[in-house]
Chains A and B, each alone.
Chain A
């Protein structure tokens, strides 16, 4: 049995990863919108995003909207793969099949 990825296996980071995984590959989500979809405080979200970024699962892009800077987030291909593996392992663990 494969172990559950400790980077994703924490409720806040699972929710972040699951939300970013709904994006079409090649799309990025603005930080305020991600925060709204998760209902998390900016500080808490930043802390967990940093852990995901350190693991190479999340890519951070800075852009400008008019004069104000906006941070965009997306799953890296490594992060997407890790999320898919995590989901698969969870299901294996629960169903005991495949």
Chain B
């Protein structure tokens, strides 16, 4: 399966009245995770999060595509 670039955030247990709600829920969760952290702590949290999610994705083809996308296109 190729890298998903269409909106994909969803929250199966929750009724979402608005199409932007799951993405906004995620974004708040992410920013909230960084609250009160130093710059170094935030960088470490991000690194750990990337590793965890990369393992969850697992498929090297997808990960290569994602890395190439952010590396080349900025």
User: Do A and B actually bind?
Assistant: no
